[in-house]
Amino acid sequence: MSMHDFKDGAFTLVQTFTSTRLLIAATLLTTLLLSLFFLLRKPPSNQPPRIPERIPYISNTLLFLSNYSELIRRAQPTFGTGNIVRFHVGPQPVYLVRGQQHIARLLRTSTALASEGFVLLVLKGMAQMNPSDLAKFANDKSGRLKTPNPGTESTYPRYWADQHALYADFLTPAQHSNALAQRYFLALREQLGTTIPPSGEEWETLHLHTFTRTLISTSALISLCGPSILTLTPNIVPLYWDFDKNVNPILYGAPRWLFPQSYAAQDKFYAGIERWLDHAQETFNWDDKSALESDWEPVFGSRLCREAAAWLKRGGFSKAATVGIFGGIVFALQANTISIATWTVMHLLQRREVLEAAREEAKRALIENGEGKTVGIDEQRLVGMTLLQAVFAETLRLHVTFPMSREVMEEGVEFEGYRIPKGAYVQGTAGIEHFDEEAWGEDGYAVREFWPERHLADGEKLGEKVFSMAGKTVKFFPFGGGPGMCPGRHFAKQEVLLTIAALLTMFEIEFVEWTNLDGSRSDREARNDESYAATMPPDRDAKIRLSRID
Ligand code: HEM
């Protein structure tokens, strides 16, 4: 998540401080900042209720960083009959809101509630920007939309808008996400073929999440960056996962001396990114117009990577920032999708009849040659399949908590009659709206249960079912919303459904047992690992067995 969000992108990425050392350091920092805060600011009167905490300003900060889901649970009684409560993250006041009206306001594009500021923190840590790189963004007040904010019309170059346009032009459109999806599927089938060769009646036993973390990461990297990223650094996938585990302090721009382990993991992973980038810059023929404009070629991989490299060069960004921006894009690529794919398979294995129906849908999207051999897949057709869409939506609903935050940019902003001070964050969360009984409850099927059928409605023809989210848009925002909405959402859906399609059409697949992450037997099923915000990975793995059928 370049940029999954505290406020915008970054906070979504939040996983969490997991070690005692991090927690102690965070507490010390918080206390220091708080002292400053109290010296400098007087709290406004007429404020919404505050989420109770044992040590004021500290407990909720730590909870926010280490278990966002628990903070949300604690907030519930504080709401009472209202729809707004407040808490602090260090010195930062956060107003947590719920319900249709407030969420719709956060999802709207607005100059009063903006989503850029925290990204600067991410650019500093994740993208390794030095003061001169950062100043380019900090001095650009024109916003990320095509039309500059009023009064900033003469801004040039427009760094926010240019970065946004990179994603809007070369990641989100169908032409580019389809190109990524096609390469992804080819790489995935090849990986699957080499990992589990056709072997007649033999069954291959493996640990699902461990398996998908390698399989999907490898295939997604090939589709985004081309194959050389793996040949130049064969251990780039484990290096990525080590970075992923350590990423939080980096996201918050915490100092290197305080978190040497996190930055060491970043250095190792980014060295692999740099090796690939140097090689691509040297090898690619920038005078070759057709290669420049192709959707995919083997040196840079996707057009997004080529365009990003060219933009970073034009913009005069430092080498470290150039590598860092790519590190962020790869993080965005991997951080949520793989857990969602794992969860989808886990759920399907517990609902055998849904798995079989999903397999039938997936088969209908395969492209075969004259001899009945699979040569590809119609990814557009696949992502339009009724049940598969419902399965994907239900998995996102259950496993994404995403805290969607906006910074109050003007005086006089009010929510429910409460004045929200300028500089505060207003936050809505998937962790509340995705479990709203009124929106999602179905007789006999609790909102916390995997029940994709809740997203199916009667179609026009008798007996026909269609995928429908009608009336639920403000109750479902796994990809955020407004101008910062995840630009990789179409590819994410393709990636997850292509993975499911490949697994179901190439293999017979059976659940064996739940295991702990170390592979030992677990006495319970997987639950959300709540130390992560955004997408929560499973806290257990599933032992499964596969046998080739294609
Ligand atoms: C299930 C998978 C995914 C989920 C749940 C997800 C979710 C999100 C969310 C919530 C945001 C922040 C949106 C906001 O601030 O309102 C975001 C940003 C972003 N995502 Fe995703 N994402 C996923 C997959 C992907 C993939 C596959 C890519 C491909 C590279 C991607 C690229 C990005 C980028 C580049 C941003 C930052 C955009 C910016 O800074 O303007 N995401 N994502």
pLDDT tens digits, one per residue of 328-360: 999 999 999 999 999 999 999 999 999 999 999
Ligand 1 shell residues, CB under 6 Å? 1-5, 8-9, 12, 115, 164, 167, 329, 332-333, 336-337, 340, 400, 402, 404, 478-481, 484-488, 491-492, 495, 535
Among the residues of 2-125, which ranges form H helices? 9-12, 20-40, 59-66, 68-79, 100-107, 117-125
* Predicted pLDDT of residue 8: 34
Q: What are the pLDDT digits (tens) for 136-166?
A: 999 999 988 899 988 999 999 999 999 999 9
pLDDT at 21 over 50: no
Q: Could you tell me if 229 and 237 are in contact, meaning their C-beta atoms sit under 8 angstroms apart? A: no
β-pairing verdict for 425-429 and 92-97: parallel
pLDDT per residue over 469-521, tens digit each? 998 989 999 999 988 899 999 999 999 999 999 999 999 999 999 999 999 99
Q: What is the ipTM for the molecules in this complex?
A: 0.99
Question: pTM value?
Answer: 0.91
pLDDT score of 19 more than 50: no
Q: What is the mean pLDDT of residues 16-30?
A: 49
Distance 183 CA to ligand 1 centre (A): 20
Q: Whose CA is nearest to atom 7 of ligand 1?
A: 479
Nearest CA to ligand 1 atom 19: 486
> What residue's CA is closest to ligand 1, atom 32?
488
**Peptide bond preceding 77: is omega within 30 degrees of 0, i.e. cis?**
no
Task: Flag the least confident range among 50-54, 154-158, 194-198, 220-224.
Answer: 194-198
Whether pLDDT at 4 is above 50? no
Cα 481 to ligand 1 centre (Å): 10
The per-residue pLDDT for 251 is 80
CB–CB of 480/5 below 8 Å? yes
pLDDT (tens digit per residue) in 224-275: 999 999 999 999 999 999 999 888 778 877 789 988 999 999 999 999 999 9
Question: Using 50, 70 and 90 to split pLDDT, how confident is the model at 41?
Answer: low
Identify the band that residue 6 occupies on the pLDDT scale cut at 50, 70 and 90: very low
Position 473 scores a pLDDT of 87
CA-nearest residue for atom 42, ligand 1, is 488
Instruction: Encode pLDDT of 439-459 as tens digits.
Output: 999 989 999 999 999 999 998
